[in-house]
């Protein structure tokens, strides 16, 4: 019976192994991954630092005003301009406020690190709120169709018809200023796109033979949706995560800039908001470094998202 059976391939690759192999071929994506990892480590360091000061119950160094060193330019500029080093060696001087200080003499670099922490918190927490909503509603709408679908489509169309920022502002106002408002505002409004995508994919997969086969085995709806269909559309979730992450970050920056976001902590938005006042007087560094930080993380996430979309799609898998 098994005369001309195909050769058993050495070892079958797992899905993730396969995706990683394809991602590795993409140089640019790898660099983006490196950038994202650096940011993640930075954010984690920021979190540890934050907890440390909280635990010791003292004012963090990045918040402590140091009126002796207001508006210090970045160290490299200072050294190149030959400013007074007050007896410090060049190396030591270079390590002192490398990105300069702000109007209260606080180190810009340290505040950038804290800003990264806030940005990642916002990106992650809003995803934790938005992605499950989008995935679950999308799956239900796509799988059950009919009345359920009508209701969910109505719901997200209504959500989508309200101007996003106003909605976020409204929620943030209701919940009150601070991070919680930002989390809920962004989290509760940004699930629509994902929900739409998932719904469409689930509709497509619902009519595929493997779903009929699963039904023919007597599997329940929940099991078919979440164990059989969801893994097939999960690459969308991952890609959406990488795309909405920078969006959430920029929304937070915007909200904080307007003063209804983060309070009392150095977020990127607050730093931009503060630095714009003295920008025309030549205090360029705070604005510049924050912008670069935002630019890099948004760019890296977007490019990585693109590459992941290609790498993770199960349909693009190569045969053994």
Partner 1 sequence: MFDVPETAMKNPIIEVKNLGLHFGPASRPVRAVDGVSFSIDEGETVALVGESGCGKSVTALSLAKLVSGSSRYVSGSVMYDGKDVLQMEESELRWLRGNEISFVFQEPGMSLNPVFRVGSQIAEAIRLHRKGVDVHDEVLRLLQLVGIPAPEKRMRSYPHEMSGGMQQRVMIAMALACQPRLLVADEPTTALDVTIQAQILELLSELQKQLGMAILLITHNLGLVADVAHSVNVMYAGRIVERGPSRELLRNPEHPYTHGLLAAVPRLTGSVGRLKSIDGSVPHLAQLPSGCKFHPRCPKRKPDCEGVEPELRESGENRAVRCYYPVKQGQHEER
Where does this chain bind partner 1 (CB under 8 A)? 1-2, 4-6, 8-9, 11-12, 15, 206-210, 212-220, 228, 231-232, 314-315, 317, 319-320
Would you say 171 and 184 are in contact if contact means Cβ atoms under 8 Å apart?
A: yes
> Is the Cα dihedral 246, 248, 249, 254 positive or negative?
positive
Closer of 67 and 217 to partner 1 (Cβ): 217
Look up residue 229 and give its DSSP letter.
Answer: I
Rounded least distance, CB 10 to partner 1, Å:
9
Cα of 273 vs its chain's centroid, Å? 21
Rounded least distance, CB 204 to partner 1, Å:
13
Rounded least distance, CB 191 to partner 1, Å:
24
Closer of 86 and 217 to partner 1 (Cβ): 217
Closer of 103 and 145 to partner 1 (Cβ): 145
Residues 137 and 224: their CA atoms lie apart, in Å, by 15
Rounded least distance, CB 197 to partner 1, Å:
18
Closer of 4 and 89 to partner 1 (Cβ): 4
Structure tokens at 311: 């790498």
Residues 7 and 15: their CA atoms lie apart, in Å, by 21
Closer of 52 and 210 to partner 1 (Cβ): 210
Rounded least distance, CB 133 to partner 1, Å:
23
Rounded least distance, CB 196 to partner 1, Å:
22
Report in angstroms the alpha-carbon separations of 110 from 52, 113, 174, 180, 258. Answer: 14, 5, 32, 23, 22
Contacts of the segment 223-227: beta carbons below 8 A, 24+ positions apart: 224/143, 225/139, 225/140, 225/143, 226/139
Structure tokens at 87: 């007896």
Closer of 176 and 231 to partner 1 (Cβ): 231
Rounded least distance, CB 225 to partner 1, Å:
13
SS3 107: strand
Closer of 133 and 214 to partner 1 (Cβ): 214
Residues 19 and 242: their CA atoms lie apart, in Å, by 16
Structure tokens at 161: 């018809």
Residues 124 and 130: their CA atoms lie apart, in Å, by 10
Would you say 129 and 188 are in contact if contact means Cβ atoms under 8 Å apart?
A: yes
SS3 101: strand
Rounded least distance, CB 144 to partner 1, Å:
11
The residue behind tokens 């630092």 is: 49
Residues 207 and 195: their CA atoms lie apart, in Å, by 19
Closer of 89 and 209 to partner 1 (Cβ): 209
Rounded least distance, CB 208 to partner 1, Å:
6
Would you say 258 and 165 are in contact if contact means Cβ atoms under 8 Å apart?
A: no
Closer of 146 and 282 to partner 1 (Cβ): 146
């Amino acid at each position: 019976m098994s005369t001309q059976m195909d050769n058993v391939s050495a070892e079958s690759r797992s899905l993730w192994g396969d995706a990683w192999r394809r991602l590795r071929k993409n140089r640019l994506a790898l660099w983006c991954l490196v950038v994202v990892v650096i940011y993640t480590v930075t954010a984690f360091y920021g979190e540890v630092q934050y907890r440390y000061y909280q635990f010791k119950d003292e004012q963090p160094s990045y918040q402590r005003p140091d009126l002796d060193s207001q508006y210090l330019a970045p160290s490299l500029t200072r050294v190149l301009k030959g400013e007074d080093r007050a007896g410090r060696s060049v190396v030591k001087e270079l390590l002192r406020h490398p990105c300069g200080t702000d109007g209260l003499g606080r180190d810009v670099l340290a505040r950038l690190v804290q800003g990264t922490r806030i940005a990642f918190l916002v990106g992650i927490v809003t995803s934790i709120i938005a992605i499950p909503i989008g995935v679950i509603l999308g799956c239900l709408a796509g799988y059950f169709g009919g009345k359920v679908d009508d209701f969910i489509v109505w719901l997200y169309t209504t959500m989508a018809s309200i101007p996003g920022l106003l909605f976020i502002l409204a929620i943030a106002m209701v919940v009150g200023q601070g991070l919680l408002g930002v989390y809920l505002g962004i989290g509760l409004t940004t699930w629509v796109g994902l929900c739409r995508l998932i719904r469409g994919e689930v509709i497509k997969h619902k009519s595929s033979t493997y779903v009929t086969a699963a039904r023919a085995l007597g599997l329940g709806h929940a099991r078919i949706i979440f164990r059989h269909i969801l893994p097939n559309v999960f690459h969308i979730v991952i890609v959406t995560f990488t795309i909405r992450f920078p969006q959430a970050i920029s929304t937070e920056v915007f909200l904080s800039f307007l003063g209804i976001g983060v309070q009392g902590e150095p977020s990127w938005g607050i730093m931009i908001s503060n630095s714009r006042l003295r920008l025309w007087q030549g205090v360029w560094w705070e604005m510049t470094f924050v912008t670069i930080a935002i630019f890099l993380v948004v760019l890296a996430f977007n490019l990585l998202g693109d590459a992941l979309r290609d790498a993770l799609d199960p349909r693009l898998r190569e045969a053994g």
